[in-house]
Structure 1
Amino acid sequence: MQKRTLMLLVTLVFSALQAFGQGSTVTIKGKVIEEETDLPLSFVTIAVVGIGSDVPLAGTLTADDGSFNIETTASDFAIKISFIGFETKLIEDFTVEGNEIDLGIVVLGADSQELEDVVVVGEKSSTEFRLDKRVFNVGQDLSTAGGSALDVLSNVPSVNVNIEGQISLRGSAGVQILINGKPSVMASDGGNALGTLTADMIESIEVITNPSAKYEAEGTAGIINIVLKKDERKGTNGSISLNTGIPDNHSVGLSLNHRTEKFNLFSQLGVGYRNMPNENTSINRNKVTDTTIYSVGNGDKYETFYNVILGADYHINDNNVITLSGNYSLEDEDQPSVTNFSSLYGETVISSWDRTEDTEATNPKYQFDLQYKRDFDDHEDHDLLFSALGSSFAKDQSSYFTNQTTAGADEDLEQRTATDFGETQYTFKLDYTKPFSDVFTLETGSQYFINDVGNDYMVENLENGTWMVDASQTNVFDYNQKVLGVYATGAYEKEKWGLKLGLRVEDTDLKTYLQNTGEENNQNYTDLFPSIHTSYELRENLSIQGGYSRRIFRPRLWDLNPFSNIQNNYNIRTGNPDLQPEYSDSYEVATIYNAGDLSLNFTLYQRNTTGVVERISFYEDNVNITRPENIGTNNSTGLELNAKYDALDWFTATVDMNYNYFVRNGEFDGTSFDFSNDQWSGRLVTKFKLPAGVDFEATTNYRSSYQTVQSTISDQFFMDFGLRKKIIRGRGVLNMSVRDAFASRIQESIIDQPEYSLYNEGFRGRFITLGFSFSFGKGEAMTYSGGRR
Structure 2
Amino acid sequence: MRHILLLLLVLAFGGVLRAQSPDEAWLEGTLVSKTDKTPLVNAFVVLRTADGADTPFSALTDEKGYFLLKATTGTYRLAGTFVQQTIILRPSLELPAGRLQLGTLPVELTRELEAVVVEGKTPLVRYEGSTLIFGEAAFAKARGGSVLDGLKLIPGLQIEGANKLKLYGISTLAVYIDGRPQRMSQDEVIALLQGMSVSEIAQVELIREPGVEYSGVTTPILNIKRKTRADEGVKGFTSLVGTYHQLFSEQLSTRVNLNYGRSRSYVSYTLGNKRYRETTTLSSGVVDDLRVDPRVSHQVGLGTDLTLGKGHSLGAQFLGNYADERLRFSQGMSNRIKWSNLYATLFHTFRASRWSLQTTAEGSRGSSDLRRDQGAMDVATKDDNRFARIALDFAHRLSSIFTLYAGAEVSRVAVDSRVTNRADELTLREWNIEGYTKLGFRLPKVSGFVGLRIAGEDRKGSLGGGLGDFFRSGSELLTSASLRYAPARDHELSLTHSSSYTRPSYRDLLGYTSVASAAFLRKGNSALRTAYRRGLSLNYTYMRAAQLELSYTDTEDPIVEAMPPMLGGGLVLRRYNLDYSRTLRALLVLPLPLVSQKKFSWLALTILAAQRQWDAGRIETNDYSAALNTQFVQHRHSFSFPSDWTVDLGVTYYSGVLYELYRIQRQWWIDASVSKRMGNLRATLSARDPFNTNIARGSYNPVVNGLAFERNWHSPRLELTISYSWGKKSVKAQDTRARYDDLKRLTTGASEGMNTPAQ
Give the TM-score normalised by structure 1: 0.70
Residues 192-591 of structure 1: pairs in structure 2 closer than 5 A: 193-194=188-189, 196-201=191-196, 203=201, 206-219=205-218, 222-225=219-222, 227=224, 232-236=229-233, 237-246=235-244, 247-284=247-284, 293-335=285-327, 337-339=328-330, 355-376=331-352, 378-379=353-354, 382-402=355-375, 414-458=376-420, 469=421, 476-568=425-517, 570-591=519-540
Q: How far apart, CA to CA, are the structure 1 residues paired with 2:437 and 2:700?
A: 46
Give the CA deviation at 1:211. 2.1
Q: Are the aligned partners of 1:148 and 1:196 in contact in 2 as well (CA < 8 Å)?
A: no
Q: Are the aligned partners of 1:145 and 1:735 in contact in 2 as well (CA < 8 Å)?
A: no
Residues 32-51 of structure 1: pairs in structure 2 closer than 5 A: none
Verify: 1:642 aligned to 2:604, yes or no. Answer: no
Q: How far apart, CA to CA, are the structure 2 residues paired with 1:281 and 1:651?
A: 42
Give the CA deviation at 1:364. 1.6
More deviation, 485-494/673-682? 673-682
Cα–Cα, structure 1 residues 687 and 755, in superposed 2: closer, same or farther, change >3 Å? closer
Q: How far apart, CA to CA, are the structure 1 residues paired with 2:156 and 2:530?
A: 23
Q: What residue in structure 1 maps to residue 742 of structure 2?
A: none
SS of aligned partner of 1:356:
coil
Q: Alpha-carbon deviations, 1:670-690, whole Å to 9, x = none?
A: 543233212232222211124
Q: How far apart, CA to CA, are the structure 2 residues paired with 1:707 and 1:645?
A: 31
Q: What residue in structure 2 maps to residue 657 of structure 1?
A: 608
Q: How far apart, CA to CA, are the structure 2 residues paired with 1:447 and 1:325?
A: 19
Q: Alpha-carbon deviations, 1:529-550, whole Å to 9, x = none?
A: 1111110111110011111122
Cα–Cα, structure 1 residues 666 and 136, in superposed 2: closer, same or farther, change >3 Å? farther
The aligned amino acid for 2:240 is: L
Give the CA deviation at 1:272. 2.9
Q: How far apart, CA to CA, are the structure 2 residues paired with 1:398 and 1:154?
A: 37
Q: Are the aligned partners of 1:218 and 1:554 in contact in 2 as well (CA < 8 Å)?
A: no
SS of aligned partner of 1:306:
strand
Q: What residue in structure 1 maps to residue 687 of structure 2?
A: 738
Cα–Cα, structure 1 residues 450 and 232, in superposed 2: closer, same or farther, change >3 Å? farther
Percent identical pairs in the alignment equals 17
Q: What residue in structure 2 maps to residue 601 of structure 1?
A: 547
Q: How far apart, CA to CA, are the structure 1 residues paired with 2:153 and 2:429?
A: 34
Q: How far apart, CA to CA, are the structure 1 residues paired with 2:277 and 2:391?
A: 40
Q: Alpha-carbon deviations, 1:664-708, whole Å to 9, x = none?
A: 233445543233212232222211124543111113222222236
1:768 corresponds to which of 697, 718, 725? 718
Q: What residue in structure 2 maps to residue 35 of structure 1?
A: none
The aligned amino acid for 1:371 is: F
Give the CA deviation at 1:430. 0.9
SS of aligned partner of 2:362:
strand
Q: How far apart, CA to CA, are the structure 2 residues paired with 1:119 and 1:711?
A: 45
SS of aligned partner of 1:281:
strand
SS of aligned partner of 2:565:
strand
Cα–Cα, structure 1 residues 415 and 748, in superposed 2: closer, same or farther, change >3 Å? farther
Q: What residue in structure 2 maps to residue 719 of structure 1?
A: 670
Give the CA deviation at 1:183. 4.5
Q: Are the aligned partners of 2:178 and 2:226 in contact in 1 as well (CA < 8 Å)?
A: no
Q: Alpha-carbon deviations, 1:280-331, whole Å to 9, x = none?
A: 22233xxxxxxxx422424233122222211111111122111112111222
Q: How far apart, CA to CA, are the structure 1 residues paired with 2:644 and 2:386?
A: 48
Q: Alpha-carbon deviations, 1:389-427, whole Å to 9, x = none?
A: 11222212323233xxxxxxxxxxx23221212222222
1:675 corresponds to which of 621, 626, 651? 626
1:704 corresponds to which of 636, 644, 655? 655
The aligned amino acid for 1:655 is: T
Cα–Cα, structure 1 residues 584 and 571, in superposed 2: closer, same or farther, change >3 Å? same
The aligned amino acid for 2:726 is: F
Cα–Cα, structure 1 residues 628 and 128, in superposed 2: closer, same or farther, change >3 Å? farther
The aligned amino acid for 1:485 is: E
Q: What residue in structure 2 maps to residue 20 of structure 1?
A: none
SS of aligned partner of 2:306:
strand
Give the CA deviation at 1:245. 2.9
Give the CA deviation at 1:629. 1.3
Q: How far apart, CA to CA, are the structure 1 residues paired with 2:588 and 2:261?
A: 45
Give the CA deviation at 1:148. 10
The aligned amino acid for 2:414 is: D
Q: How far apart, CA to CA, are the structure 1 residues paired with 2:386 and 2:379?
A: 23
Q: How far apart, CA to CA, are the structure 2 residues paired with 1:238 and 1:174?
A: 30
Q: Alpha-carbon deviations, 1:740-786, whole Å to 9, x = none?
A: 32222223331366745423332222222222222234669xxxxxx
Q: How far apart, CA to CA, are the structure 2 residues paired with 1:258 and 1:755?
A: 62
Q: How far apart, CA to CA, are the structure 1 residues paired with 2:412 and 2:114?
A: 43
Q: Are the aligned partners of 2:624 and 2:702 in contact in 1 as well (CA < 8 Å)?
A: no
The aligned amino acid for 1:654 is: L
The aligned amino acid for 2:393 is: D
SS of aligned partner of 2:286:
strand
The aligned amino acid for 1:573 is: R
SS of aligned partner of 1:663:
strand
CA RMSD after TM alignment: 3.6
Give the CA deviation at 1:502. 0.8
Q: How far apart, CA to CA, are the structure 2 residues paired with 1:186 and 1:712?
A: 30
Unaligned runs of 5+ in 1: 1-110, 285-292, 340-354, 403-413, 459-468, 781-789
Give the CA deviation at 1:230. 6.5
Q: Are the aligned partners of 1:250 and 1:272 in contact in 2 as well (CA < 8 Å)?
A: yes
Q: Are the aligned partners of 1:511 and 1:522 in contact in 2 as well (CA < 8 Å)?
A: yes
Cα–Cα, structure 1 residues 670 and 265, in superposed 2: closer, same or farther, change >3 Å? closer
Cα–Cα, structure 1 residues 436 and 123, in superposed 2: closer, same or farther, change >3 Å? farther
Q: Are the aligned partners of 1:705 and 1:713 in contact in 2 as well (CA < 8 Å)?
A: yes
Cα–Cα, structure 1 residues 645 and 720, in superposed 2: closer, same or farther, change >3 Å? same
Q: What residue in structure 2 maps to residue 613 of structure 1?
A: 559
Q: How far apart, CA to CA, are the structure 2 residues paired with 1:313 and 1:118?
A: 31
Q: What residue in structure 2 maps to residue 72 of structure 1?
A: none
Q: Alpha-carbon deviations, 1:167-191, whole Å to 9, x = none?
A: 7777877976655544443048xxx
The aligned amino acid for 1:423 is: N
Q: How far apart, CA to CA, are the structure 1 residues paired with 2:337 and 2:647?
A: 39
More deviation, 708-717/233-242? 708-717
Give the CA deviation at 1:561. 2.6
SS of aligned partner of 1:743:
coil
Q: How far apart, CA to CA, are the structure 2 residues paired with 1:164 and 1:264?
A: 31
Q: Are the aligned partners of 2:288 and 2:519 in contact in 1 as well (CA < 8 Å)?
A: no
SS of aligned partner of 1:305:
strand
Structure of higher CA gyration radius: 1
Unaligned runs of 5+ in 2: 1-108, 731-759
Cα–Cα, structure 1 residues 183 and 717, in superposed 2: closer, same or farther, change >3 Å? same
Q: Are the aligned partners of 1:656 and 1:683 in contact in 2 as well (CA < 8 Å)?
A: yes
The aligned amino acid for 2:396 is: K
Cα–Cα, structure 1 residues 125 and 418, in superposed 2: closer, same or farther, change >3 Å? farther
Q: Are the aligned partners of 1:394 and 1:421 in contact in 2 as well (CA < 8 Å)?
A: yes
Q: Are the aligned partners of 1:615 and 1:628 in contact in 2 as well (CA < 8 Å)?
A: yes
